[in-house]
Structure 1
């Protein structure tokens, strides 16, 4: 892939906590964040994984979509983690690349309800700047004074991972020296919940929200809708070394493919995921036998987990890597998931600790054969770890992380 891309900072806002350490602690404890959600009392599914609101409504923050507020909070932590001060960098040499599956859909739904109930005079003048798909990246660039490339990627649930790949390409092309890359989404809304429920994608475990998200488990019946943001600071290794930064991990390779099979279902043999894995390993100058750990997409839906499990079992026959899915604890954070899970994978490599898959108790015949970490965190030296992210539209991304 060329020069190493160092991960020098991480910021997380998730249903498990506002900040990297609260999130890491909860995920490592296998503590699910799903709860009954009063805002969904009229929805067909009345539970979610919500983020504790991290930002006040003071100043101009009230103008921003909920997902953008998550992003700004994650960015502050990521910059502190990377020991970066926007007052000291060259703003034209910094890029912002943010993934989102739905843009500011929370704002859009809220303002549309106002239009229908109270007329156009009730609309906020900030409706468009809050919900347009590019505006999370735009607001972050504005907040930090970044004048380099500012982009938004949208590949459904792979959006955050696609943003990281795009940032790598910008760094390798010399278009920037620092990239703030990740994802954000706030899709726990009545419309999104009802739409996913209509598709049959959501768990119907309202009677036991904490036990509803069950990646790879025999009793899985769908995902729990979540929200959040993950932001990683990426730099070429030489640039990080020049400013005496301490990398957390190295983003050593990546692969991305399309299934061209079905709008929402994965390819039945996982052809795109297999190809993306091969690309990621080739760019990392590694092979199947080098993979120690996989942070799986692991949505808790019957079909996704079956296909992903089959790919892992067949690709790594004779050399099974440990496998975990954070969605048992976090729910499915949509366009933010790829970035949040990439951050967790980087931390897994750095700390040699693998979080368990919350609520996984036993496989069914489709997930048998995987070395799924269950019940408690596991200590394991890791040379190479992969993070899978898949999305509606047939998007497949695989990120490869190595120790710094």
Structure 2
């Protein structure tokens, strides 16, 4: 099994414009929910959302159909690449949930004559400008290998494909960028609201009073290499991944989480990590009734007699759609380097027996113990990853 070393990170979120600001506020327990109306998108959805203040949502730029999602993904990618000495052989793997979905909304709000004069926007309804334009934005020698659309597991699937391809590289060193991102979409926001999945207040993962997710926006990126950076003490490695699809329901997970459990076990097996070796879990933890109960059920079966620290980022970051799983991975890397797991942004203990929820302040991790990360998406998509420290 050939591992991938994390050599760069990037992020932009409602908590911060870059990786450092995002993780610092996350570890301190910050949360910044706003009214969706503050996004200025133009649909009146009476719900809270994770709105990045000041984000340029206009369509335009060099490629004409660039929008907020492209700008987020581009910014996180550039930050992850900062400090990389040689990106000439860079390969890109990415994922998003809806990309520039609101191209359709923009066209619908134009005068008929003006809309007819926007051929590139009409073309964007047929192809996603994110994967098409990102390689050109980052440099002429970058190459797109895969862009995935598996709802909220999208960027994690991209990470899995990068790991799979690394096994085919032989002894040749390679550098890969994995990125995921989504901006707020009026169409998507309306859909979650009509499903009754949006929170009426604070998103409270694994809490007895949880009532839904906080739809949010952002982008996360990891730069990975088949070789560790010279002189790096205790580099973080992607040790293994597992994937499954329960196909139980278009939007609801399997209540027992049996197929999610299969993905967790597969990731641990590939990583060569025993259940008792796991030092902490960063779960999908959306704050919805169904998701949290399913994940809690899996935890109770896998660790019935152990107290495994569990956290969810979505009380602070909100649900960043296609980027959410990769945000979990970025924070897993940070947690391993700090030796602490960030808190879940809720008050009080978990509603589920066997889920040792980290709240209030970061929790110290067992030295050297790996972390397990999960992500799930509509259609029953499940992806899990294991990260650890060492060469």
Normalising by structure 2, we get a TM-score of 0.91
Partners of 1:322 and 1:385 lie apart in 2 by 10
Partner residue in 1 for 2:50: 49
Partner-residue secondary structure (3-state), 1:323:
strand
Deviation at 1:111, TM superposition (A): 2.2
Question: Counterparts in 2 of 1:218-237, with a 5 A limit?
Answer: 218-237=208-227
CA drift at 1:333: 0.4
User: What is the match of residue 336 of structure 1?
Assistant: 323
1:388 equivalent to 2:374? Answer yes
Counterpart check, 1:370 vs 2:355: yes
Gaps of 5+ in 2: none
Q: Does 1:182 align with 2:179?
A: yes
Residue 317 of structure 1: CA displacement?
1.2
Q: Partners in 1 of 2:123 and 2:74 — Cα distance?
A: 15
Give the deviation of 1:28 after TM superposition: 0.9
Match of 2:340 in 1: 353
- Partner residue in 1 for 2:66: 64
- Whether the 8 Å contact between 2:350 and 2:356 is mirrored in structure 1 is no
Partner of 1:287: 274
What is the CA deviation profile of residues 137-194 of structure 1, one whole-angstrom value per residue up to 9, with x for unaligned ones? 23221112234343210110011111111111122212981111021111x2322111
Secondary structure at 1:68 match in 2: helix
Tell me the equivalent position of 1:318.
305
Q: Is the 8 A contact 1:103 1:133 kept in 2?
A: no
Contact in 2 for aligned 1:103/1:132 (Cα 8 Å):
no
The CA deviation at 1:126 is: 3.1
- Counterpart-to-counterpart distance in 2, 1:112 and 1:44: 17
Query: CA 1:136–1:41 in structure 2 vs 1: closer, same or farther (change >3 Å)?
Result: closer
| Structure 2 contact 27–342 (Cα < 8 Å) conserved | yes
Q: 1:371/1:103 Cα in 2 relative to 1: closer, same or farther (>3 Å)?
A: same
**1:15 aligned residue:** 14
Q: Which moved more, 1:212-221 or 1:166-175?
A: 166-175
Conservation of the 8 A alpha-carbon contact between 2:36 and 2:45: no
Identify the residue that residue 102 of structure 2 maps to in structure 1: 106
CA, structure 1 residues 121+328, in 2 after alignment: closer, same or farther (shift >3 Å)? closer
Partner SS, residue 102 of structure 2? helix
**Paired residue secondary structure (1:256):** strand
| Alignment match, 1:97 | 93
Contact 2:27 2:362 in 1 (8 A): yes
Distance 1:245 1:125, change over 3 A: farther
Q: Tell me, what secondary structure is at the counterpart of 1:18? A: coil
> Aligned pairs, how many?
383
The alignment's C-alpha RMSD in Å is 2.3
Q: How many angstroms does 1:196 deviate by?
A: 0.8
Contact 1:103 1:131 in 2 (8 A): no
